Amino acid sequence: MTPPTLRPPGQVVEIARTLQLAGFEAWCVGGAVRDALLGLAHLDWDLATSATPQEVRRLFKRTVPVGIEFGTVGVLDRDGRMHEVTTFRHDVQTDGRHAVVQFGASLDEDLARRDFTINAIAYDPIAKQLRDPFEGQQDLGRRMVRAVGVADERMREDRLRALRAIRFAARFDFTIDDATWNAIVASAPYLTRLSPERVRQELEKTVEQVVCPSVAFTRWRDSGAFGALIPSLADVSPSALASVDALPLPTLASRPLRKLLRFAALFGGLDGKSAERALRALRFSNHDIATISALVERMTVHGAVLEAQFRSHGVPADAALRALAASLGRLRAAGFSRLLAARLAVTEPPVPAPILRLFHRRLLRVAFRDAIEVADLAVDGDDLRAAGIAAGPTLGRILQALIAEVIEDPSANTRDALLARARAMASVGNA
Ligand code: ATP
Ligand code: MG
């Protein structure tokens, strides 16, 4: 009996039917089958077939050679949506990093090269029949990630599997089979052979897919994966890990920000420079490095001070909040506040949520309402030059001094008042 969730989209069934009518095998495989059996939605239903890539390209009108060397052809359906069709294959000659594939394999051989039993279940959508030679369904029922075959050997073939096992276990809240876990621990010293890009992708998928990433990152720590790959996180603290989970759930639009905040929380026990070094080694984008390490660095400067204030006096006054917003930069204020709230929600005793919410609202209000940057002043450099102040470093210092005064007292941000102050500063400077 197949469960009701095992229902591939009509277009996928059509592609499978075309392949089968031409005399080939066609099976749904991989993540979609696993997720359907778990009752979860999955968008990409991949097919595996006995047809060669050339045969697949001949059978369908519109195809894209997405990964021809691995046997993958993209078949476009009527709506222009692409579905991946991959020729049965087995891997040969692996060196722990690169697999060389060979076609002409059977379905069972194709399933045998897959990483975990839960990822090695096939479904024939025409005959409505499952093929599960490694008892993946039983492991789904036991909620367990288990390597296909001999765990040690499978991890030696491809060390990335160690990180994938940890990610799948955290994502589905599964345990990891003992032999598989031991193979992960044994793999840790060799993870440095993976390219930094692949490691970064695993980290990114983890913070994007997993509801409680701390579960995954705790295993990265305990297996030695952090020690090998990100030594500064080798002993990452339970509170830093807990704060990753405590960040608010995102709306769709705020997902990219959540990713950065989750990394900022993970690196929250470090100083900004160490976080930056670690992120650079993992080839994060310059934008991501700048945002994450700035948040980490600002937290080391302001975090403890704000915590002490929240615990004694509540939320600081507007002038102090403006100074904080200025030091963060307007666009980082919201992220900083979310990150701080997550950290302080998991300290003992936690800072009460209403204080953190009030802080968030008031920080954002001053950040976007008040003048906190030189560009927000009622005068600019041209105005000061017209008032007789020579261009040069002094003029720059005067603008900085003016914004500092305006942050203290927003009512000072008028053209006349600022010009008068600027002249006074210039004459003192000249004297
Ligand atoms: P996700 O929802 O994260 O995409 P997925 O199971 O679809 O999960 P993919 O990385 O898209 O994961 O891989 C598709 C399938 O290919 C897996 O289900 C697995 O059967 C196989 N696979 C992927 N990577 C490996 C690997 N490193 N070693 C062995 N098999 C793998
Ligand atoms: Mg996938």
Q: pLDDT value at position 112? A: 96
Span 369-384, pLDDT tens digits: 999 999 999 999 999 9
Q: Looking at ligand 1, which atom is closest to the CA of residue 205?
A: 3
Q: Whose CA is nearest to atom 28 of ligand 1?
A: 115
Q: Looking at ligand 1, which atom is closest to the CA of residue 32?
A: 7
Q: pLDDT value at position 425? A: 93
Confidence bin at 1 (pLDDT 50/70/90): low
297 close to ligand 1 (CB < 6 Angstrom): no
- Ligand 1 centroid, distance to 206 Cα (angstroms): 14
321 neighbors 364 (Cβ within 8 angstroms): no
171 close to ligand 1 (CB < 6 Angstrom): no
Q: pLDDT value at position 63? A: 97
119 close to ligand 1 (CB < 6 Angstrom): yes
Q: pLDDT value at position 8? A: 95
Quick one: which ligand is closest to 156's CA?
1
- Ligand 1 centroid, distance to 30 Cα (angstroms): 6
For 357-380, what is the mean pLDDT? 96
Residue appearing with tokens 């993870």: 191
Q: Whose CA is nearest to atom 21 of ligand 1?
A: 114
- Ligand 2 centroid, distance to 299 Cα (angstroms): 36
Q: Whose CA is nearest to atom 17 of ligand 1?
A: 30
Q: Looking at ligand 1, which atom is closest to the CA of residue 44?
A: 7
Is residue 315 over pLDDT 60? yes
Confidence bin at 91 (pLDDT 50/70/90): confident
- Ligand 1 centroid, distance to 205 Cα (angstroms): 12
Q: Which two tokens stand for residue 7?
A: 């229902």
31 close to ligand 1 (CB < 6 Angstrom): yes
Which strand (E) or helix (H) includes residue 416? Answer: helix 415-430
Is residue 367 over pLDDT 70? yes
Closest by CA position to 88, among listed 44, 129, 51, 55: 51
Quick one: which ligand is closest to 112's CA?
1
158 close to ligand 1 (CB < 6 Angstrom): yes
| DSSP structure string for 213-265 | HHHHHHHHHHHTHHHHH-GGGTT--HHHHHHHHHSPPPPGGGHHHHHHHHHHH
For 220-234, what is the mean pLDDT? 98
Residue appearing with tokens 């409505």: 128
pTM assigned to the model: 0.92
Q: pLDDT value at position 104? A: 82
- Ligand 1 centroid, distance to 46 Cα (angstroms): 10
Span 242-299, pLDDT tens digits: 999 999 776 666 778 899 999 999 999 999 999 999 999 999 999 999 999 999 999 9
C-alpha 262/C-alpha 389 separation (Å) is 47
C-alpha 169/C-alpha 124 separation (Å) is 26
For 377-394, what is the mean pLDDT? 93
Span 56-69, pLDDT tens digits: 999 999 999 998 88
- Ligand 1 centroid, distance to 155 Cα (angstroms): 14
C-alpha 414/C-alpha 52 separation (Å) is 74
Neighbours of ion ligand 2 (CB under 5 A): 31
C-alpha 421/C-alpha 431 separation (Å) is 15
For 154-161, what is the mean pLDDT? 96
% residues pLDDT > 90 (the chain) = 88
Q: Whose CA is nearest to atom 6 of ligand 1?
A: 31
Is residue 96 over pLDDT 60? no
Q: pLDDT value at position 252? A: 64
Q: Which two tokens stand for residue 96?
A: 């722990």
Q: Which two tokens stand for residue 94?
A: 């692996």
Q: Looking at ligand 1, which atom is closest to the CA of residue 35?
A: 2
For 30-48, what is the mean pLDDT? 94
For 194-210, what is the mean pLDDT? 97
Q: Which two tokens stand for residue 314?
A: 């509540």
- Tell me the residue type at 372: I
Q: Which two tokens stand for residue 65?
A: 């050679």
Top mutation candidate among 107, 114, 193 for ligand 1, by most atoms within 8 Å of CB: 114
% residues pLDDT > 70 (the chain) = 96
213 neighbors 170 (Cβ within 8 angstroms): yes
Q: Whose CA is nearest to atom 15 of ligand 1?
A: 30
For 410-426, what is the mean pLDDT? 95
- Ligand 2 centroid, distance to 31 Cα (angstroms): 5
Q: pLDDT value at position 93? A: 63
Q: pLDDT value at position 210? A: 94
Is residue 193 over pLDDT 70? yes
172 neighbors 142 (Cβ within 8 angstroms): no
